[in-house]
Amino acid sequence: MQRTALLSILTCLLCVSCGDSDPSETIFYTRPMEADERAAAVAALEATHERVRREIYKTCDKWHHIDHPCVDADVRTESLRCWQRDGIKAMEHANKRRMRARSTAMKILRMVRVCMDKEGWRKNKRGPAF
């Protein structure tokens, strides 16, 4: 009896809380980057290989978050932060070792992917549609 009453109360609360939400409102779950911070990250990214730029600029077609829906601006912000935090260090390390272009790109992208994974972003898996 008590379990049924509790379930009905929880169901009512869930229905009330999910009510009037405007789908046109965009909710950003990530703190936006400052303009100068973003400009520095983009300037450093433009100096890299085309393959690295393409992968960093990919959005919800490549990444999804484990806790909330994917928003393209959030993906770009987090990938630029990860590029700035870990990718630039990996590029400098690869340049010191005089690694080849493909090896450098793979090292950078691996470091960025690990950072994105720590932030809760998972890479989309290819399904049967591919």
- Whether 1 shows a pLDDT value over 60: the answer reads no
CA–CA separation, 78 vs 19, rounded Å? 30
pLDDT digits (tens, 9 = 90+) for 2-34: 656 555 565 655 554 454 444 445 555 567 777
Q: How far apart are CA 64 and CA 107, in angstroms?
A: 22
pLDDT in tens, 64-121: 888 888 888 888 999 999 999 999 999 999 999 999 999 999 999 999 999 999 989 9
Domains in the chain: boundaries:
29-123
The whole-angstrom separation of Cα 128 and Cα 130 is: 5
- Asked if pLDDT for residue 125 goes beyond 90, the answer is no
DSSP 85-116: IIIHHHHHHHHHTT--HHHHHHHHHHHHHHHH
